[in-house]
Amino acid sequence: MASTEQCREALEQLSRNLAGSEGDVRKAAALDRSLTCRITDLDLTFTGRLQDGRITDVVQTPGPPAAKAEIRLTMASDDLVALVDGKLNFASAWATGRVKLEAGFRDLLRLRTLL
């Protein structure tokens, strides 16, 4: 199981990756949406914003999210770290239920470029 600090660093690395992306990926990440990342095995939630291709204003709270964000991710801590490190393919993790992504239909269509 990855630590809380490893999960926070993974989210920071994801933000850097998105900010450094180009083309269709950069365009897909250029949303302005509330975001939660629920880490099930640590029983905590990171809340922030996906804004201008970066994840900003990240706050960590215990338990499930207090409010329903526009983009919601749910996964285990090791899966978050593996996804960001490139050791776990998002599409296959999503298809097998290891990672859960919830968003509005238009956002899902736009985010599919990131998969």
Helix (H, G, I), strand (E, B) or coil at 93: helix
Residues pairing with 54 in the sheet: 51
Instruction: Tell me how far apart the alpha carbons of residues 13 and 9 are, in angstroms, rounded to a whole number.
Output: 6
Q: What is the pLDDT of residues 18-32, one digit of tens each?
A: 888 888 777 777 789
Indicate the pTM of the whole model.
0.90
Q: What is the pLDDT of residues 63-109, one digit of tens each?
A: 999 999 999 999 999 999 999 999 999 889 999 999 999 999 998 88
Sign of CA pseudo-dihedral 80, 85, 91, 97: negative
Query: Please, which pLDDT band fits residue 115 given cuts at 50, 70 and 90?
Result: low
Residue type, 63: G
Residues pairing with 73 in the sheet: 37, 101
Query: Angle at CA 89, nearest 5°, toward 85 and 94?
Result: 125
The domains located in the chain, with CATH, are 4-114 (3.30.1050.10)
